[in-house]
Amino acid sequence: MDRIRIRGGQSLNGTIEISGAKNSALKLMAACLLTDGELSLSRSPRLADSRFLGQLLAHLGVEVEEQAGSRLRMHAANISDPFAPYDLVRKMRASFNVLGPLIAREGKAKVSLPGGCAIGARPVNLHLEALEALGAEIELEEGYVHATAPKGGLQGGRVVFPFVSVGATEHAMLAAVLAKGETVLENCAREPEIADLAGCLNAMGAKIEGAGEAVIRIQGVDRLNGTDWAVVPDRIETGTYAIAAAAAGGNVLLKDAIEDHNQALWRAMRLAGVEVEAESGGVRIKRSGPIKPVDIQTEPFPGFPTDTQAQFMALMTLADGASIIRETIFENRFMHVPELSRLGADIQVRGNEAVVRGPSKLKGAPVMATDLRASVSLVIAGLAAEGDTIVNRIYHLDRGFERLEAKLSACGADIIRESE
Ligand code: UD1
């Protein structure tokens, strides 16, 4: 198994090109099931998660081809069997998103329930309730969802989400685009990935209004066509490298980053003493002075993203004073705390709050990655620590960060991947 070795203490200087958003690409890939035309995605990130989903799509009968220049071509001319087996879904939760498109296109589907994951139980009740509101009949049997559309296909409906869910909002959109009549989705998630998915679906011929706002209206259409779509730049990767540059110190241009997609993080970073400037072609991050403590609380977009909470905590271990970090989205998202403590951080967890007391003089040590974003927080801490930090179990990192070592070492970090 591979691991990453970081010798800390180098500042970061240079340019990091931001890849396409993993969380957007995975839903855009599921959208290929809605058309017998070809869907071609540019700026498609090459990640373990997109490969897992590619395997599932291929199993469903889709032609999937990675092409040069980060292009991914998918052609679902025919769906051989609308069945997504456990072994392919369990590897990556977002695979569950094939359910809606399969019912919309084929009238029925059998898809494995995804199960929980390290950061929490992550149920899919809201996804299923939204599909039921469109007329799908859902039965759960032996770990599988058996779903059937009514005669004549899914029907438009009204869905009021009891709380905001990114996945359920996207899933409802993916199913409603081919339903008969109008669908109204209320209390929707407003993450940029939702507008990206709606933009691509509209380019395929769908009629979606309001994506990125709380109420989304969809007029169903009979069929969708293929299209070419560029995946939105990854705001979580952007935030991660921004925090890395702040922790290590230096001056980094995050090329292609969209400033507006990270306003809550920029606010917190500016309060911490980091310079954040939008410039043509991206966002520049500079830090040379001391880091100040800042309290944050994770929230749905446009609030502070849970997916950069672990990374921000790593930064706060270096701040001069105490900060409070409150996690409100997932119940078990502090697994990086014991690992950061191994590097010398002083963090106390009480329920969904962590109190970080800095500044800690971090010292390199072997640590273990526990989930995707937690693992990259250990890389960030390693960049700022004295000596060697070895991050084990990096398959988590490979799920969501494209060429992480290459991107960081091009800016002066001393980081290599080695085999155990
Ligand atoms: C997506 C992102 C993930 C990010 C999260 C929140 C992808 C592939 N993943 O996850 O990186 O951390 O948004 O920004 O896009 N919930 C339910 N029932 C449901 C659905 C969700 O109770 O049917 C709960 C979840 O357990 C969680 C909360 O709602 O506590 C928000 O989850 P949600 O927004 O759905 O996250 P995901 O779409 O799974």
Closest CA relative to residue 374, chosen from 45, 120, 94: 120
Which structure tokens are listed for 200? Answer: 């691509």
Crossing angle, helix 125-133 and helix 99-106, to 10 degrees? Answer: 20
Q: Kindly report the protein residue whose alpha carbon is nearest to atom 24 of ligand 1.
A: 122
Q: What are the tens digits of pLDDT across the range 167-191?
A: 999 999 999 999 999 999 999 999 9
Does the beta carbon of 302 sit less than 6 angstroms from any atom of ligand 1? no
- Centre of ligand 1 from the C-alpha of residue 176, in Å: 20
**C-alpha span between 39 and 76 (Å, rounded):** 9
- For residue 221, report the distance from its CA to the centre of ligand 1, in Å: 28
Average pLDDT score over residue span 215-235: 98
Q: How far is residue 382 from each of residues 6, 7, 325, measured CA to CA in Å?
A: 6, 7, 20
Would you say the CB of residue 122 lies under 6 angstroms from ligand 1?
yes
329 lines ligand 1 (CB under 6 A): yes
pLDDT digits (tens, 9 = 90+) for 71-113: 999 999 999 999 999 999 988 889 999 999 999 999 999 999 9
* C-beta separation of 334 from 304 below 8 A: no
Q: 176 CB under 6 A from ligand 1? A: no
- How close is the Cα of 407 to the center of ligand 1, in Å? 28
Q: Is the pLDDT of residue 278 over 70?
A: yes
- The answer to which of 27-31, 157-161, 218-222, 416-420 has the lowest mean pLDDT is 416-420
User: What pLDDT, on the 0 to 100 scale, is given for residue 93?
Assistant: 87
pLDDT at position 230 over 90: yes
CB 10 within 8 A of CB 412: yes
pLDDT single digits (tens) 119-138: 666 889 999 999 999 999 99
Assign 411 a pLDDT band (cuts: 50, 70, 90). very high
- Radius of gyration over every alpha carbon of the chain, rounded to an integer in angstroms: 21
Residue 308: predicted pLDDT = 97
Mean pLDDT of 345-364: 97
Q: pTM of the prediction?
A: 0.97
- Mutational pocket test of ligand 1: of 91, 93, 128, 165, the residue with most ligand atoms within 8 Å of the beta carbon: 165
**How would you list the strands of the sheet with 366-368, edge to edge?**
366-368, 388-392, 2-7, 414-419
Statement: residue 273 has pLDDT above 90: yes
Ligand 1 centroid from CA 44, angstroms:
22
Q: Which residues are catalytically annotated?
A: 117
Ligand 1 centroid vs 362 CA: distance in angstroms? 32
- Atom 37 of ligand 1, residue of closest alpha carbon: 167
Residues 45 and 21 sit within 8 Å (Cβ to Cβ): yes
Q: Nearest residue CA, atom 7 of ligand 1?
A: 23
Q: What is the mean pLDDT of the chain?
A: 96
- Residue whose Cα lies nearest atom 3 of ligand 1: it is 307
Distance 167 CA to ligand 1 centre (A): 6
Ligand 1 atom 33, closest CA: 165
Protein residue whose Cα sits closest to atom 11 of ligand 1: 307
Residue predicted with more confidence, 282 or 117: 282
From CA 303, how far away is CA 296, in angstroms rounded?
10
- Closest ligand 1 atom number to CA of residue 166: 34
Residues 332-341 have pLDDT tens digits of 899 999 999 9
142 by Cβ neighbours in 10 Å (0-12 / 13-18 / 19+) ranks as exposed
Rounded CA gap, 53 and 58, in Å?
A: 9
Q: Which atom of ligand 1 is nearest to the CA of 330?
A: 30
- Residue-wise pLDDT for 359-406, tens only, equals 999 999 999 988 888 999 999 999 999 999 999 988 889 989 999 999
What distance in Å separates the CA atoms of residue 105 and residue 60, rounded to the nearest whole number? 12
* CA–CA dist 167, 191 (Å, integer): 10
Percent of the chain exceeding pLDDT 90 equals: 91
251-262: pLDDT as tens digits: 999 999 999 999
